Amino acid sequence: MAYNFLIVDDSTTTRHIIKKIIGMTQLPLGEVVEASNGIEGLEAMRKNWVDLVLADLNMPDMTGGEMIDIMAKDPLLSKLPVVVVTSEGNQTVLDSLAQKGVREFLRKPFEPNLLKEVILRVLGVSE
């Protein structure tokens, strides 16, 4: 089974780094789809089969938090595992997102091995 990922981040550099780390997981990869904000992220989820969403919070047009709010209310998207990769430090915000189903939080900047471990843990895959 190949895994499909969606990376939602307004930084092209961050998306590139995350994509490279996904390749380092040695998981069988399907597609890695990219979006630069929550609007594009929702469109991508509705058009593509996605096994895991890696999302930033602070983005223009629609934030990651707003995207997650919409996902939580949508029966087709609410079960999608989400990992938030952000520089956000407000614990109240993070707690609120956890209640909406976010599986893991990873603070920027992050070590590649930590992101790899989080991806494997959320997908339930052992090395």
- On average, the pLDDT of the chain sits at 93
Residues 6+ apart with CB under 8 A from 65: 57, 93, 96, 97
Report phi then psi at 53, rounded to 5: -110, 130
Write the CATH number of the domain with boundaries 3-123: 3.40.50.2300
Residues 2-36 pLDDT 10s: 999 999 999 999 999 999 999 888 889 999 999 99
Q: Where are the domains of the chain?
A: 3-123
Q: Quick check: 89 and 97 in contact, CB under 8 A?
A: no
Overall pTM > 0.75? yes
Hey, which residues does 52 pair with through a beta bridge? 5
- What is the pLDDT, as a whole number, of residue 77? 96
Residues 67-124 pLDDT 10s: 999 999 999 999 999 999 988 778 888 888 888 889 999 998 888 889 989 999 999 9
Q: Which two tokens stand for residue 37?
A: 């904000």
Q: Quick check: 88 and 96 in contact, CB under 8 A?
A: no
- What is the pLDDT, as a whole number, of residue 127? 67
- What is the pLDDT, as a whole number, of residue 82? 97
Question: Residue range 56-66: average pLDDT?
Answer: 95
